[in-house]
Amino acid sequence: MMKSSFLRDCLIALAAFAILAVLPFVYPSRGMSDFVIRLAAFGIFATSLNLLVGYAGLESFGHGLFFGLGAYTFALTMQKLGTSIPVAFALTILLSVVVACVVGAICVRLKEIYFAFLTLAFQMLLHSLIIAWTPLTGGDQGLTGGVPRPPFLGIRLDQPYHLYLFCGGLLVLCLLLMRHIVQSPFGYTLRMIRDNPARATFLGVQVWRMRLAAFVIAGAFGSIGGMVMSLFVSGAFPDFAYWTISGEAIFMIMLGGTTVFFGPLAGAIMLLMLNDAVTKLTEHYGLVLGIIILMFALGLRKGFMDYLAEWWRGRQMSSVAAPAATQARPLPAQPVKVAGE
C-alpha cells in the first residue's frame, strides 16, 4: 500500500515537473520565472517548517537559522573553495545537519514556549555573527561578488531557463521526499507525539529522539531553501538570517494551513503574490500586508487549505449520510391478517 502510494506521488511529481518545464513557453515572462524560483525557495522552507509545527507539534520561531545558514554556506563554499554545485550542496546540507543536531539536542527537551524562543535566540546569534564577521560575510552589506555557476551534468545555471528548471526540479523533489517522510511510520509517530506525548512515551517511543530527528530533517530541507535563494540573488544577505524570515514562513503556514501537506506551498504562493501586488501599490506594504493577513486569519480562523479540506470532508460525509438515512427509514406498517379472514 505504501509503495503504491509512493509510486503515485512520483507520477504526480513527474507531471508537475513537466508542467513547470513547458510553462515558460506558454507564458514567456521573466517575472513568472523569477516567481517560480522564489516560490521554490520559500515553498521548500515553509514546508520544512511545517514538519515541526504541523506534524511534530514544535513551534519554532527560529527556523530561519537554517535558511540563512544554507544561503551563506553555499555561497561561501562556491566563492572560496570553487567546488562544483553538487559538492557545495552536499557540504551545505552536511553542515546544516551538524548544526541542527547541536541546536536540536539543546532545544527539543524544553517545553513549547522555551523551545520557540531558544530557537529564535540561535537564529539571532547567527545573524549577529554574520554582521560581525565582515571579512568573511561582508557584514551588513551582504556577501557580494556573485556565486559561481560552473556547469555540471550538462546543466548551465548561468542560463535563465536552466536555473529555472533546476530550482523547479528541486522544489518538486523536496516536496516529494517530505511527502514520503510524513506518510511513513516515522511521520505517523510524529503525529502521535504531537497529539499525546505521554501516551507515546508509555508505548515505548523515545519522544526527544523523534523530535530531534524531525528537527534535523527540517533543518536540512530549510537549508536547501536558502541555497535556492542564494542562487537566485547570486549572493547572500543578513536578512536571510533575520527573525523576519522565520515570521514569513510562519505567515505562509498560517495562510495555507498546517493539516494539509501542500498548505505551506499554497501559503507561499499567496504571500508572495500579496507581497508583489501590495509593493506595487504602496510604500507602506508591511502595514497593508499585515492588515490583509490579519483579516484573513480572523475570517477563516484556519489556513486556506485546511478550510478546503474541512469543507470537502463535510461534503463527503453528507453525501454518505443521505443514502444511509434513506435506507434506515422505517417501512410503512402492514395490516395483520387474521386466520379465517
Tens digits of residue pLDDT in 313-339: 888 787 776 665 566 555 555 555 554
Please say whether the beta carbons of 138 and 144 come within 8 A.
Answer: yes
- The predicted structure's pLDDT at residue 314: 81
* Residue 208 near residue 84 (C-beta atoms within 8 A): no
| pLDDT value at residue 2 | 64
C-alpha cell at 20: 513547470
Least confident of 67-76, 144-153, 178-187: 144-153
**Radius of gyration for the chain, computed over Cα atoms and rounded to the nearest angstrom:** 24
d(CA 296, CA 178): 27
Q: What cell was used for 40?
A: 521554490
- Residues 263 and 249: their CA atoms lie apart, in Å, by 12
Query: What pLDDT is attached to residue 332?
Result: 58
Q: How is 295-313 classified by DSSP, letter by letter?
A: HHHHHHSS-HHHHHHHHHH
Question: Would you say the pTM of this structure is higher than 0.85?
Answer: yes
What are the grid coordinates assigned to 210, written together? 523523534
Q: What is the pLDDT of residues 90-142, one digit of tens each?
A: 999 999 999 999 999 999 988 888 999 999 999 999 999 999 999 999 999 99
User: What are the backbone dihedrals phi and psi of residue 161, each rounded to the nearest 5 degrees, phi first?
Assistant: -70, -35
Residue 12 clears pLDDT 90, i.e. is over it? yes
Give the separation between CA 226 and CA 41, rounded to whole angstroms: 6
Euclidean distance between CA atoms 278 and 285, whole angstroms? 6
Q: Which is more confidently placed, 148 or 287?
A: 148
Averaged confidence pLDDT in the chain = 89
Whether the predicted pLDDT of 282 surpasses 90: no
The stretch 229-238 carries a mean pLDDT of 95
